[in-house]
Amino acid sequence: MKKLSCLLVLLVLSMALPGWAKELKLGQKAPEFTATTDSGKSLKLQDLQGKFVILYFYPKDDTPGCTIEAKGFEQLYPKFQALGAEILGVSYDSVKSHQAFKQAYQLPFVLLADTDRKMAKAYDVDQPFFAERNTFIISPEGTLVAMFRDVNPSGHAQEVLDWLEQNQGTPKPKASQPSD
């Protein structure tokens, strides 16, 4: 009877803590994903190989905290681009919701619809009603190089940019080639 009770407790814990057995660690290969973009196209992580990927999960389109966070990334977008980084926002919202959110705030980066929650589960941010607000930086080689857990949306984009600048280095101007 004790063995059965112990097994039952372990089963309940494994269901209650979906990320318990698959905790992400820095330096490991980032979980692969295929998701639908705000334009309705399919995007795979491997499509972005060779670039830093800023993968930020947020709870819901067009809510106060999520709007603050998205606008932060929007304002710093040229600096992220200069560092060769792609920003991807992810929530459980539909493509249609993402399109409206992106248009309302003129967001220049891709939003991914994780309606089946596969990405959230793979990145250990799945919650019953929305994804936890967490950000992951994936190296050009596809490894997890930074994780920001339970972030404050205000100032978070700058925090991510600072990390990227300190750990990747700022781009150096290319030497001009003499013309023939």
Nearest CA among 58, 59, 60 for reference residue 73: 58
Question: For residue 125, what pLDDT band results from cuts at 50, 70 and 90?
Answer: very high
CB 92 within 8 A of CB 115: yes
In terms of pLDDT, which residue wins out, 7 or 165? 165
Mean pLDDT across the chain, nearest whole number?
Answer: 84
Does 49 fall in a domain?
yes
Tell me, yes or no, whether 154 lies in a domain: yes
Q: Read off the pLDDT band of 169 (50, 70, 90).
A: low
Residue 86: inside a domain: yes
Residue 116 has pLDDT above 70, yes or no: yes
- Report the distance separating Cα 173 and Cα 107, nearest Å: 27
24 within domain boundaries: no
Across the range 76-100, mean pLDDT stands at 95
Q: How many domains does the chain have?
A: 1
- Which residues are the active-site residues? 66
Q: Which of 112, 68, 116 has the alpha carbon at shortest distance from 88?
A: 112
Bridge pairing between strands 134-138 and 42-44: unpaired
| Neighbour order of strands in the sheet with 42-44 | 42-44, 34-37, 110-113, 85-91, 52-57, 134-138, 144-148
pTM above 0.95, yes or no: no
Residue 103 belongs to a domain: yes
Q: Which domain holds residue 97?
A: 33-168
Rounded CA gap, 164 and 161, in Å?
5
* CATH of residue 55: 3.40.30.10
The residue among 63, 50, 45 whose CA lies nearest residue 123 is 45
On whether residue 74 sits in a domain, the answer given is yes
pLDDT band for position 7 (50/70/90)?
Answer: very low
43 part of a folded domain: yes
Q: Is residue 175 part of a domain?
A: no
Q: Write down the pLDDT at residue 2.
A: 54
pLDDT band at 122 (very low <50, low <70, confident <90, very high): very high
- Give residue 25's pLDDT: 92
Q: Is the pLDDT of residue 68 over 70?
A: yes
At residue 108, the 3 state secondary structure works out as coil
Is residue 54 pLDDT above 80, yes or no? yes
- Tell me the C-alpha distance between 106 and 178, whole Å: 39
What pLDDT, on the 0 to 100 scale, is given for residue 66? 93
Higher pLDDT, 135 or 62: 135
